[in-house]
Amino acid sequence: MPVTGRLFVGGEWSSPRPDFASHSPARWSEHVGTFPQSSAAEVSGAVAAARAAFRAWRRTSRVLRAECFDRLAQLIKRDTDALAELMARECGKNVTECRAEVIEGLHMVQYVFGTGRLPFGEVIASEIAEKDAFVRRKPWGVVGVITPWNFPFAVPLWMLGPSLLEGNTCVFKPSEDTPAVGQRLVELFAEAGFPAGTLNLVHGDGTAGEAIVRDARVNVVCFTGSYEVGRRIQELSAALPDRIVAAEMGGKNAVIVCDDARFDLAVTAGVLSAFKTTGQRCVSAS
């Protein structure tokens, strides 16, 4: 059945609104689902919900925040095959690659859960005997997470996982090409018991993404995508002195074959590196 797209703000799902469709690349006539195009006002509401939830979430024990990720890991294990099938339908990768991506996302969630019980901060040697010096890490605020279509499950978890574990709250906009996978991920977060407002979902194209970036209440922007969009995020954020931007915009990657290499293996590795996922990876050989 087609996915019914909704926004998720402050722990509540919005009414469905079929503003745009997500198609299967393998069969363009197949609608994976229909989704709402978030307005600037709806994005602002999502940021406000994240800001409101921040006070309580930052004061929640880091261990208890990590427990949410343990529950999330169990749900991903339960739904691995279904998630892989949905991803294959929506982004076009073969189901084996999609299943590998789901497992990669699961590993990130397990890593985040594990770090929740590790020490954090540092004790620093003091040159004054009567004084102790230490670093205490604190959350920064609201994190805007804007992710691409080619890894619609793992990449969001790279950003959402550490951000939420450390006590930040998030506004998440998945690619308009893979909104169904993004929405399903948020549904799992909600089922895992993350408190209302800690993770908020908006849908839409670059106008929704720009509304997130333009909002001065967003303290961090995490982005993976094109150079043009990443540059735009950096330009808009330059006027905000408290804004942190992490923009991963791909790479120019070489394959170096040494004289003593197995040439047959090098050729196979080079072809796979350049053409797997039709080259739509930031780590693909150029």
282 is a catalytic site residue: yes
Helix (H, G, I), strand (E, B) or coil at 171: strand
The answer to whether the beta carbons of residues 180 and 3 sit under 8 Å apart is yes
Strand-by-strand arrangement of the 142-146 sheet: 12-13, 8-9, 199-201, 169-173, 142-146, 220-224, 244-248
Tokens 């999609």 -> residue: 98
Report the alpha-carbon distance of residue 29 to residue 58 in Å, rounded: 45
Residues 94, 88: Cα–Cα separation, whole Å: 6
Catalytic-role residue among 85, 104, 187, 248: 248
3-state DSSP percent of the chain in helix, strand and coil, to 5: 45, 20, 35
Give catalytic status of residue 98 as yes or no.
no
- Name, in order, each residue with C-beta under 8 angstroms of 5's C-beta and a sequence gap of 6 or more: 16, 17, 18, 22, 33, 34, 35, 36, 179, 180, 183, 203
CA distances from 94 to 91, 277, 278, 279 (A): 9, 9, 11, 14
Query: Which of 30, 85, 97, 282 does the annotation list as catalytic?
Result: 282
Q: 34: which residues sit within 8 A by CB, 6+ positions away? A: 2, 3, 4, 5, 16, 18, 19, 20, 21, 22
Length of the chain (residues): 286
Q: Which two tokens stand for residue 167?
A: 């006590």
- Contacts with 106 (C-beta within 8 Å, 6 or more apart), sequence order: 73, 76, 77, 80
Residues known to be catalytic: 248, 282
